[in-house]
Structure 1
């Protein structure tokens, strides 16, 4: 039982750290700091590995706890949080639910923050693409050519600067 509480508490802490990084990432994106963004991504990658280990620990602890309960095995439970809450003694249900609610809250915050960061990056890329399009417009916008005239000029490549001007 202790391992389950510890693993849930670890998961909450790791998600809080990931939320902190996601908030820092937002600030880095706002100021277009690419090196800072790379650093944040590296930190996030390290935390993801720690998160995977903590989740594996939680799964093992829950599985070990529930397999010791013959009534759970008979019911054919899946090992979900609801199964766990129904299998633990009444005294532990409220603290376990509190930890679980805290974890859900952190996961929701992280999801929302990551969605914001993704939208900001998409908007930045659209701005960059628009800027590039303005710097390199289509050939047709440089000069007018009568559509009925198909001379040799139509085969020439136009540049942004017309040397004949």
Structure 2
């Protein structure tokens, strides 16, 4: 009989620990809600990669155009040594820009690793959600949301919207027509 009394505090600690895990899980994953934070994070990271790629391509196209213009100027005055020296300096800077733009590929690779990790964590969380039950976690999630009490400006701050999400410029224009 005393052995079962010795186990009681340990069982209570284990129960308290699992309750804490359930609350933390409910705070991360809100069952029944449209919000999927891990999917949202993956989309945000994909948007970063896409925006970086677009910006890098614009930079590279502009630098290529500058290089072409510099070559045209060089052809106009091949014997002008001071101008040729300046055009060589422009060519060196163009090379530096091309090298610096290689960051985009590395950034994309690193972000892809993060997205893969997020998907792994998401799968594990989905397993935990199914073990504890969506209804219970939804109840806990609602309690946590009510406790956090986001209101005012804090409730409005969502950062830049993903492409196709949020209010479009056309929607805003229609409001003013």
Flag whether TM exceeds 0.5 (same fold): no
Greater relative CO (CA pairs within 8 A, separation 6+): 2
Bin of the TM-score, shorter chain as denominator length? 0.3 to 0.5
